Structure 1
Amino acid sequence: MRTVEDLRGVCDALPHSLETFPFDDETLVFKVGYFTKSKMYALTDITQEPLRLSVKVNPQRGHELRQSYPQSVVPGHHLNKKHWVTVTLDGTVPGELVRELLRGSYLLVTKKGFTKAERADLGLPDHL
């Protein structure tokens, strides 16, 4: 799990996942929803080598990840440091864990960012 294509493979499989470049031509933002209402669940600068991926996590999970991978998982870069982590995709963090973090971020955002009716209307899952 080291390339933009790897990230796209995971995110494309998530219902109503969107790829956007809302800030510039380098910052790829993955959102869930539709164009009139969408919420960010992951982002990466596609020009960085190695890639760094920011995802939303619950605070306790973020703390655990930073303790387990102190060189590769840091508080979210330019994001709420309590709820976001930035993961360096250099192979230190196992690919399956990165996939789990992407799916978990997606679920956190769908549960907090959309009402129950909106989730039902979009057919968003409660778990993956």
Structure 2
Amino acid sequence: MNIEEFREYCISKKGITEEFPFDEKTLVFKVMGKMFALVALERLPSQVNLKCDPERAIALREEYDGDVIPGYHMSKVHWNTVLLGNLPPKLILDLVDHSHDLVVSKFTKKLKAEFDALG
């Protein structure tokens, strides 16, 4: 999977914005203003940071040693860095969904109502 395919999948989800809050090289995807994915546009091989349940994060790092690592410049407990070119696209899409769903699950009632109203 390449960066453009990753981006297309992320922005196809409900309530998504993309921005460059840190610098012009780090693309951030947010759902209702909350980060769920970051892409280092100039890093090779291509890699992304995704939020992950702590237990699942450890299991993924063990199973995909070197291709899923603790989140670069992020909480090592809650974020993984995922190398896009080395993993099956279906797994990457599943990890995007997992990250997105984790963030949505932590919404306040008000934000969840706004999110649900989007359709």
**TM-score, length-scaled by structure 2:** 0.93
- Aligned pair count reads 118
> Higher helix fraction: Structure 1 or Structure 2?
2
- Out of 51, 59, 73, the residue aligned to residue 54 of structure 2 is 59
Q: Partners in 2 of 1:6 and 1:103 — Cα distance?
A: 14
What is the match of residue 12 of structure 1? Answer: 11
RMSD: 1.4
State whether residues 110 and 124 of structure 1, in contact with CA within 8 Å, keep that contact through their aligned partners in structure 2. no
Structure 1-normalised TM-score? Answer: 0.87
Q: Choose from 103, 115, 121 the match for 2:108.
A: 115
Cα shift readout 1:34-72 (whole Å, capped 9, x = no counterpart):
xxxx11000011111221110000011101100111111
SS of residue paired to 2:111:
helix
- Cα distance in 2 for partners of 1:116, 1:10 equals 26
Q: Are 1:74 and 1:85, in contact at CA under 8 Å, matched by a contact in 2? A: yes
Counterpart code for 1:48: R
Letter in 2 for 1:16: G
Q: Please list every run of 5 or more consecutive structure 2 residues that lacks an aligned counterpart in the other structure.
A: none
Task: List per-residue Cα deviations over 1:52-103 (Å, max 9, x = no partner).
Answer: 110000011101100111111100001010110001112x211100001011
Give 5+ residue unaligned stretches, structure 1: none
- SS of the residue 1:41 aligns to: strand
